[in-house]
Structure 1
């Protein structure tokens, strides 16, 4: 019979694994969005040479790594989109309903609640 390890070490490992899986899913979603926008714009991976190596860009597009905020800004500059567009499209692609209006409403509500920063 199989048993479940409910010790604190077992729970920490399980939580770590789940967090890792979420991170990987987010990296994959970002990579797909990055590739889609790059191709839509008619850009090659070499067109990003000022901000990134072709190898690193390929790694991002395959979801093997996640970019820093600074890198998102640089990539967005080459793509000629706002960095928030890359992130918004990434999170939108992860939602089952993919309802852009609902996500925009949620972001607007949360920003209004934050007030002036």
Structure 2
């Protein structure tokens, strides 16, 4: 399984758990909604800076996000 696709699934799961739309997450993380969509689809890979912004907007940590990706890949 491609880690980019898994990261996108994790991001979507965390976003939905937080009750946010892609637009709301993009606004809170200061990234475009379309970029959030492309990450969730596994078509774009976020930079470390963007991962930190997304994590903060989702009230979680980048390490927790990566752990969820690791767990899904195992």
Could you say whether these structures have the same fold, taking a TM-score greater than 0.5 normalized by the shorter chain as the test? yes
Larger Rg: 1
**Which residue number in structure 2 is paired with residue 28 of structure 1?**
5
- When the two chains are superposed, the root-mean-square deviation of aligned CA atoms in Å is 1.1
**Which residue number in structure 2 is paired with residue 76 of structure 1?**
55
Q: Unpaired runs of 5+ in structure 2?
A: none
1:90 has 2:69 as partner: yes
Aligned length: 72
The runs of at least 4 aligned residues of structure 1 exceeding 6 Å deviation read none
**Which residue number in structure 1 is paired with residue 16 of structure 2?**
39
**Which residue number in structure 2 is paired with residue 49 of structure 1?**
27
Q: Under a length normalisation based on structure 1, what TM-score does the superposition of the two structures give?
A: 0.59
Q: Higher relative contact order by CA 8 Å / sep ≥ 6: 1 or 2?
A: 2
Q: In 2, distance between residues paired with 1:46 and 1:54?
A: 5
- Deviations 1:74-115 (CA, angstroms, capped at 9, x unpaired): 0001000011111110111111xxxxxxxxxxxxxxxxxxxx
Q: In 1, distance between residues paired with 2:4 and 2:36?
A: 12
Q: Unpaired runs of 5+ in structure 1?
A: 1-21, 96-117
From 15, 39, 64, the equivalent of 1:60 is 39
- Deviations 1:16-69 (CA, angstroms, capped at 9, x unpaired): xxxxxx7xx010000000000100110111112242101000000000011111
